[in-house]
Structure 1
Amino acid sequence: MAAIGRYLKKHTESLVKDVGIEQACQITGKSKATLGRYYSDHDEHSDRYMPIETVALLEQAANYPHVTGALAELSGSSLQYDERRPNEERPGGVNADVIALSQRFAMLMGEYQQSMEDGKITVNEAKRLLRETGLLQQVLIDMKLHLENDHGTA
């Protein structure tokens, strides 16, 4: 088995153990044996990997997106994990998103104005600006998800 395969199986096992095998079976509708095959390093299971929709279901219940994180690392990317679970349904829909967007943009502009008072952006100021832009981006993603869910587009 290639190193990438072993790496993904290791993180698949971490995902299942994070959720708990019994709960993982309930969430996915798969047996313990089937879930075990997805992370088994035995030769007869070397070409079996967890389907992506199963990964998505388990990562919603997990404390951390283990498989998604592993895939990001393998591609040279990184994850910014948002513990507030943005994919959960939030009340208010698009209207609440527009208000949150306005508030987040105001926060970003406030940080920018404060950072530029001396004419340069320091490392700490850049970190605060990056944090605010990430939060603004998350509001846009939430808004996109609400629009897709409310209007049936994808």
Structure 2
Amino acid sequence: MDNCGSYLKKHTESLVKEVGIETACSVTGKSKATLGRYYSDHEEHADRFIPVDAVAKLEALSSYPHVTSALAELKNITLSYDGRKPNEPDSGGVNSDVIALSQRFAMLMSEYHQAIEDGVISLNEAKRLLRETVMLQQVLIDMKLHLEAECS
């Protein structure tokens, strides 16, 4: 299987597992076995991928658009994802963003230093680093939006 297919399957698995296999089955109308084939790395399932309508249904329930972001990354496209609910108050402008950016970066560096203490970044450590990186990205997106609003 090529890297592209493997990458999409990995993100499909993350999506299904975040939503929960039982919920994913219910929402998509697919069996556990079928969903499992969509993210299986076995050669006999290399050409099986989750349908886009199933992705849309599952990502509506997830905290992050795993497959959509993976597709964008494969095409070098940057998405602006805002996981906050529409009625949440604004974060407070550029000054607040700079403070949040500093705090998030410090948290990322702290996670990184803990992860490399033994010279090996474990799967759980990589997941924590990824989570912090995504949070840092969100702060940067907020900052970009605030700066664009000030320029208009």
TM-score surpassing 0.5? yes
TM-score, structure 1 length as denominator?
0.57
Q: Which residue of 2 aligns with 1:8?
A: 8
Q: Supply the distance in 2 between the matched residues of 1:14 and 1:54 (Cα, whole angstroms).
A: 14
Q: Which residue of 2 aligns with 1:27?
A: 27
Deviation for aligned residue 1:127: 5.9
1:85–1:34 CA distance, 2 compared to 1 (3 A): farther
Q: Which residue of 2 aligns with 1:136?
A: none
Deviation for aligned residue 1:46: 0.4
1:37–1:132 CA distance, 2 compared to 1 (3 A): farther
Q: Which residue of 2 aligns with 1:141?
A: none
Q: List gaps (5 residues or longer) in structure 1.
A: 91-124, 134-154
Q: Supply the distance in 2 between the matched residues of 1:35 and 1:13 (Cα, whole angstroms).
A: 9
Q: List gaps (5 residues or longer) in structure 2.
A: 88-142
TM-score, structure 2 length as denominator?
0.58
Q: Deviations over 1:44-81 (max 9, x none)?
A: 10000000000000000011000001011111011211
Q: Which residue of 2 aligns with 1:128?
A: 146
Please give the residue correspondences for 1:87-98 in structure 2 after superposition, counting only pairs within 5 Å: none
User: Percent same amino acid at aligned positions?
Assistant: 62
1:30–1:132 CA distance, 2 compared to 1 (3 A): farther
Please give the residue correspondences for 1:1-154 in structure 2 after superposition, counting only pairs within 5 Å: 1-84=1-84, 128-130=146-148
Give the letter for the 1:53 counterpart: D
Q: Deviations over 1:65-116 (max 9, x none)?
A: 0000101111101121122456xxx9xxxxxxxxxxxxxxxxxxxxxxxxxx
Give the letter for the 2:148 counterpart: L
Aligned residues: 97
Q: Supply the distance in 1 between the matched residues of 2:39 and 2:9 (Cα, whole angstroms).
A: 4
Counterpart secondary structure, 2:12: helix
1:126–1:26 CA distance, 2 compared to 1 (3 A): closer
Q: Supply the distance in 1 between the matched residues of 2:56 and 2:11 (Cα, whole angstroms).
A: 13
Q: Supply the distance in 1 between the matched residues of 2:15 and 2:150 (Cα, whole angstroms).
A: 30
1:58–1:126 CA distance, 2 compared to 1 (3 A): closer
Deviation for aligned residue 1:6: 0.3
Runs of 4+ aligned residues of structure 1 deviating over 2 Å after TM superposition are 125-133
Q: Supply the distance in 1 between the matched residues of 2:30 and 2:150 (Cα, whole angstroms).
A: 40
